[in-house]
């Protein structure tokens, strides 16, 4: 029987806007509500994790898991510029205290895509002022809660804007919509291009600025915007370390497993440089790196190769390929000699048997990497709950727990028990555990 080493963290992850509900002061709430929105539906009450976090964390604990990665919502903490909401910081204090009560290690993300609406009106993620704003937000959170937080991810998928930029360029060049699975986030490719001009015009009116200056985190990024994101990370890290040097600070990246057919090596090298290697100079003082992977991309002599028509796909349109994670971990380890946490890895599917198989194969690969000496210290599956998948709404099902949103009743899946059993007993064949 293969077991993970003592202290290896195993659990699940969520993001505030996707699960809490009623995040009314955020840019995403605004983007979901405007005329001509590219969102298939609004988040509304989401899965009410804001009020039901104890139930959800208890389900995680009952299954045998010991780690919970979640995000603090900036738009709740600072709903208007310079005004910090004491009631909201108290809410997250209670979430953290409950984690500690249940012997759950919290991994906190300070920014998981959604931003305060006011930040976008101030120039958003292309403005120099965002660096100072983010530093002040980090200072407030850590001043209030730092003693309860062992790990902080400053920014989730810092490279996502770059990946979206490449998709937009590809769509513009080909005059077609991008294919499903082109990016590891829920984008509504069906309507994005057709509605983009009208959508941004509506956003300009909502944020009170020129539509060309609507720079949300998931908007296409310039090189200047890329720099600002990474300087936000550095600013937050310096603030956190000054307040509490015991907190381990890192950042997370969206990383595909890029594979080369003969002649495709140059494309793989380019993608790997753009996805991770170009960011490494900003990360030299980090304590860990968060790796987020869902699938692979294959590159031939003419670039990315389309998926085979008979390929096994997930609901998101990704190729079902759990082994991508171990390949990415090996790639990262060649360039990063500090701890790695798998901060996201999972599958959207209506078949929980497929999810169990995915977890078994992915974690078999993680164990193999550990055997090879790669310094991996934790794995948090995406996601704890079926939730709001951004522009795609609630149709996607990544969760270890299903939710009937008409009643907000939770229904733990076999995959949650399976993940917990791995933590408790080691990795068997999944057929023996389910």
Q: What local confidence, expressed as pLDDT, does residue 192 receive?
A: 56
Q: Which residues contact 10 (CB under 8 A, 6 or more apart)?
A: 4, 65, 66, 67, 378, 379, 380, 419, 420, 422, 423
For 45, the 3-state DSSP assignment is: coil
Distance CA 299, CA 318 (A): 15
Tokens 């299954």 belong to residue: 63
Ranges of residues in the chain with a pLDDT under 50 are 430-431, 433-434
What are the phi and psi torsion angles at 144 (to 5°)? -85, -35
Q: Which residues contact 361 (CB under 8 A, 6 or more apart)?
A: 322, 323
Contact 137, 74 (CB under 8 A): yes
Domains of the chain: 9-433 (3.20.20.80)
Q: What local confidence, expressed as pLDDT, does residue 177 receive?
A: 52
Q: What local confidence, expressed as pLDDT, does residue 167 receive?
A: 79
The gap from C-alpha 12 to its chain's centroid, in whole angstroms, comes to 11
Over its C-alpha atoms, the chain yields an Rg (Å, rounded) of 20
Distance CA 31, CA 196 (A): 12
Q: What local confidence, expressed as pLDDT, does residue 430 receive?
A: 45
Contact 408, 392 (CB under 8 A): no
Of 59, 150, 155, whose CA–CA distance to 109 is shortest?
155
Q: What local confidence, expressed as pLDDT, does residue 426 receive?
A: 86
Q: What local confidence, expressed as pLDDT, does residue 434 receive?
A: 43
What distances in angstroms separate CA 135 from CA 6, 112, 138, one per listed residue? 35, 15, 5
Contact 335, 312 (CB under 8 A): no
Cis peptide before 279 (omega within 30 of 0): no
For the record, the structure tokens of 198 come out as 């009208």
Contact 286, 190 (CB under 8 A): no
11: β partners: 67, 380
Q: Which residues contact 111 (CB under 8 A, 6 or more apart)?
A: 71, 74, 134, 154, 155, 156, 217, 232
For the record, the structure tokens of 272 come out as 């790997």
What are the phi and psi torsion angles at 193 (to 5°)? -70, -40
Residue ranges with strand state E in 79-205: 105-111, 151-155
405 CB neighbour count, 10 Å cutoff = 17
Active site residues: 157
């Amino acid at each position: 029987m293969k077991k993970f080493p003592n202290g290896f963290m195993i659990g699940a992850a969520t993001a505030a806007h996707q699960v809490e509900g009623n995040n009314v002061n955020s840019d995403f709430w605004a983007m979901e509500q405007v005329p001509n929105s590219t969102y298939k539906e609004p988040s509304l009450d989401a899965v009410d994790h804001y009020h039901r976090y104890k139930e959800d964390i208890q389900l995680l604990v009952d299954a045998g898991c010991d780690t919970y990665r979640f995000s603090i919502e900036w738009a709740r903490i600072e709903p208007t510029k310079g005004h910090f909401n004491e009631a909201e910081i108290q809410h997250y204090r209670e979430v953290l205290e409950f984690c500690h009560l249940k012997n759950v290690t919290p991994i906190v993300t300070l920014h998981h895509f959604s931003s305060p609406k006011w930040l976008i009106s101030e120039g958003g993620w292309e403005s120099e002022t965002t660096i100072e704003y983010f530093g002040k937000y980090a200072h407030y959170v850590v001043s209030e809660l730092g003693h309860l937080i062992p790990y902080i991810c400053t920014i989730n998928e810092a490279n996502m804007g770059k990946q979206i930029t490449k998709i937009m360029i590809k769509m513009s060049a080909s005059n077609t919509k991008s294919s499903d699975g082109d990016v590891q986030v829920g984008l509504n490719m069906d309507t994005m291009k057709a509605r983009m001009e009208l959508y941004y015009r509506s956003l300009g009116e909502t944020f009170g600025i020129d539509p060309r200056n609507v720079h949300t985190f998931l908007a296409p990024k310039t090189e200047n915007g890329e720099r600002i994101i990474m300087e936000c990370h550095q600013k937050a890290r310096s603030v956190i370390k000054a307040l509490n040097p015991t907190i381990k600070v890192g950042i997370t990246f969206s990383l595909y497993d890029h594979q080369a057919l003969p002649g495709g090596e140059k494309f793989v090298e380019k993608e790997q440089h753009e996805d991770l290697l170009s960011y490494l100079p900003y990360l030299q003082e980090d304590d860990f790196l968060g790796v987020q992977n869902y699938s692979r991309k294959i590159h031939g002599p003419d670039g990315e190769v389309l998926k085979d028509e008979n390929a096994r796909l997930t609901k998101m349109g990704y190729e079902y390929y759990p082994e991508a994670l171990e390949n990415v971990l090996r790639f990262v380890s060649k360039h990063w000699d500090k701890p790695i946490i798998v901060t996201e890895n999972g599958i959207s599917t209506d078949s929980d048997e497929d999810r169990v198989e995915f977890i078994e194969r992915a974690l078999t690969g993680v164990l193999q990497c550990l055997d090879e000496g790669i310094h991996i210290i934790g794995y948090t599956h995406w996601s704890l709950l079926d939730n709001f998948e951004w522009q795609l709404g609630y149709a996607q099902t990544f969760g270890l727990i299903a939710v009937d949103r008409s009643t907000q009743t939770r229904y733990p899946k076999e995959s949650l028990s399976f993940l917990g059993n791995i933590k408790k007993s080691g990795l068997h064949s999944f057929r023996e555990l389910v």
